[in-house]
Structure 1
Amino acid sequence: MQFCDECGSMMKADGDVMVCDSCGAEQARDADEEAAFVSTEEQSGDELIETEEGADFEGKPTATDVICDDCGHTVAWYTIKQTGAADEPPTRFFKCKECGYRWREYN
């Protein structure tokens, strides 16, 4: 990432130069810019939180403090996902171990 020497705004690449959207100043691209990017390994399936209809909840943590609205069973798999702003509590997604019914809980 490169910032404008004139106004301090973030610059965007335009060919071999960096251009400031705010003031229009142009600068040569930093030679170290490409080396500054870091790649990470791909996430494993254990780290991913699946919430769509076909998600495989089996093997996820188990909650015993819930009641399935469909069959009344009191044990369900769950995952947690931050669906709102960072200052809001996360949402828990459940799948009943007995009947497979899915629901979510907002704290």
Structure 2
Amino acid sequence: MKFCDECGSMMQTEDDAWVCTQCGHEMARDSGSEAGMVTTQAQEESEIIESSGGSSGLPTTSANCPNCDNDEAYWYMQQIRAADESETRFFVCTECEHKWREDDH
């Protein structure tokens, strides 16, 4: 990525020049400075990580699902109230993916 020396905006490449997207300032592309550039469009398929979706990366615990009576659920904690109050525990059933929460009070 290159930024304009005149206004600080991001520049784009056009042929053999860098052109500012805001003020139109142009400068020659120096082929030596692009040796360290990374182009995301050229990623190989082996570099792409796909997520299978669902809750498979979460830890599991014994919890009774109120929807299907399954006895195992994924769990995570999230701060949803003021910072001086405790976090809320969320559960996701491993069978039906029903989601429920457990508060301290």
Which TM-score tier does this pair reach, normalised by the shorter chain? 0.5 to 0.7
Q: Are 2:65 and 1:72 equivalent residues in the alignment?
A: no
2-structure distance, mates of 1:106, 1:20? 50
TM-score, normalised by the number of residues in structure 1: 0.53
1-structure distance, mates of 2:101, 2:9? 39
Contact preservation (8 Å) 1:68, 1:74: yes
1-structure distance, mates of 2:2, 2:64? 53
2-structure distance, mates of 1:43, 1:23? 36
Q: Which residue of 2 aligns with 1:15?
A: 15
Question: How far apart are residue 22 of structure 1 and its match?
Answer: 1.0
Q: Which residue of 1 aligns with 2:97?
A: 102
Contact preservation (8 Å) 1:76, 1:95: yes
Instruction: Report the AA paired with residue 27 of structure 1.
Output: M
- Measured against aligned partners, the alpha-carbon deviations of 1:36-89 in whole angstroms (never above 9, x if no partner) come to 3287963667xx4623xxx8x4x862133x442322233124589xxxxxxxx9
| Aligned counterpart for 1:42 among listed residues 47, 56, 61 | 47
**Coordinate RMSD, CA, aligned:** 3.9
Larger Rg over CA atoms: 2
Aligned length: 86
TM-score, normalised by the number of residues in structure 2: 0.54
Q: Aligned with 2:71: secondary structure?
A: coil
2-structure distance, mates of 1:105, 1:13? 50
Q: Which runs of 5+ in 2 are unaligned?
A: 78-86
Q: Which residue of 2 aligns with 1:2?
A: 2
Q: Which residue of 2 aligns with 1:29?
A: 29
Give the helix-richer structure, 1 or 2. 2
